[in-house]
Amino acid sequence: MLEVVMNKPIMIALDFPSVSQVNQFLNQFEDPSQLTVKIGMELFYQAGPEVVKQIKQRGCKIFLDLKLFDIPHTVEKAMEQLGALGVDYTTVHTLGGQAMMEAAKRGLKAGAEKAGLPEPHLLGVTELTSISQTVLENEQNCKLPMNEQVVALAKLAQKSGCDGVITSALELKDLTSALGTDFEYVVPGIRMQQDAAGDQSRVATPATAKADGAFAIVVGRPITQSQNPIAAYERYIKDWNLK
């Protein structure tokens, strides 16, 4: 397997409906401890915290992507539970506002401290990569251009104590210009040119995302649904590692 730049990870989205399919997928890798994987709503709601523990036993780094969005007290108490699970990254919606994101940060810190674990990185979700400018204007009633909306939400996340944001690659240049390069920009909607975009509206290749300032990228179906997941993963690593 090609060597990954571990401090700038490719996060594999484990969007499977069952733990058995997750294990089937991970068993194909000679050393799963080198992987960073994303556990999303589909898998977590089916299997619960136990799946996090099982995958953690393999040595994987874990991005638990539940996109919490509720009143500050509820989010804080939920984050205490997530902070005690031993995940490395987790998410909160930036549209929930500063008080909610600050509460999320407090909860993560408290949960991790109680469990004697490192505090997970808190990432703020800006606009989903499935949201187009048309949807932003006509359904969310936001009159800002997409890049200005994402930058505004990212600034609020940074002010609220988040470690980074989830953003499409198309906003990266604006974000690094406005917020600097020390913030963690995690980019879903990553596709090689030959791969289908699926339900993603704002996509980019790994090399483009990295050149524009991405801290990490998230790749799901092009790897997990490939006939040869190892080869697909290595293809993405190779492009991600391009200088």
**Active-site annotation, residues:** 65, 67, 70
* 220 marked ligand binding residue: yes
Is 134 assigned to a binding site?
A: no
Report the DSSP beta bridge partners of residue 63. 38, 89
Tell me which residue has tokens 């790749």: 219
Q: How many CB atoms lie within 10 A of CB 175?
A: 25
The Cβ of residue 230 has, within 10 Å, a number of other Cβ atoms equal to 13
Question: Would you give the DSSP letter of residue 5?
Answer: -
> Are 175 and 185 spatial neighbours (Cβ–Cβ below 8 Å)?
yes
Q: Which of 47, 76, 55, 46 is nearest to 12 (CA)?
A: 55
Which residue type is seen at 141?
N
Q: Any known ligand binding at 183?
A: no
Q: Flag whether 69 is marked binding.
A: yes
**Is 105 assigned to a binding site?**
no
Instruction: Say whether 16 counts as a known binding-site residue.
Output: no
Q: Would the annotation count 38 as a binding residue?
A: yes
Q: Which two tokens stand for residue 180?
A: 């600097």
Residue 200 assigned ligand-binding role: yes
51 CA to centre of own chain: 18
Decide: 183 and 154 in contact? Cβ < 8 Å: yes
Is 74 annotated to bind a ligand? Reply is yes
**Is 73 known as a binding-site position?**
yes
88 is in an annotated binding site: no
Residue 72 annotated as binding?
yes
Whether 205 contacts 168, CB under 8 Å: no
| Ligand-binding site membership of 15 (annotated) | yes
Distance of CA 133 to the CA centre of its chain: 22
Please give the DSSP secondary-structure letter assigned to residue 11: E
The single-letter code of the amino acid at 124 is: G
* Binding region: 15, 38, 65-74, 129, 191, 200, 220-221
* Binding region for substrate: 15, 38, 65-74, 129, 191, 200, 220-221
